[in-house]
């Protein structure tokens, strides 16, 4: 049985952050343009569901996944 991907906790120091910004902060993408493209293509999951809103406000505890890597918003 495959093991689930580990989830990295990424502190935002404010609790609320936009999806595109978080992808960069978490190291899931290298640039804002790459974040925009991944979101537009439907490659980004937030809490297990595809989310195509780059400006989506994430809250502490939300889990973002891209390319099999996961990151959780933390304080």
**Is 33:56 a contact under the CB 8 Å cutoff?**
no
What pTM does this model have?
0.91
pLDDT digits (tens, 9 = 90+) for 5-16: 789 999 998 878
Mean pLDDT, the chain, integer: 93
Nearest to 16 by CA among 49, 62, 47, 51: 62
Domains in the chain (CATH in brackets) are 7-74 (3.10.290.10)
Residue 74, phi then psi, degrees to nearest 5: -130, 170
Burial of 5 (0-12, 13-18, 19+ CB in 10 A): exposed
Handedness of CA 63, 43, 39, 68 (dihedral sign): positive
């Amino acid at each position: 049985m495959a093991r689930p991907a580990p989830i990295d906790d990424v502190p935002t120091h404010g609790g609320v952050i936009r999806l595109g910004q978080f992808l960069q902060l978490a190291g899931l993408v290298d640039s804002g343009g790459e974040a925009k493209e991944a979101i537009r293509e439907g490659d980004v999951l937030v809490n297990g569901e595809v989310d195509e809103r780059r400006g989506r406000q994430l809250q502490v505890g939300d889990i973002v996944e891209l390319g099999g890597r996961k990151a959780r918003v933390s304080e």
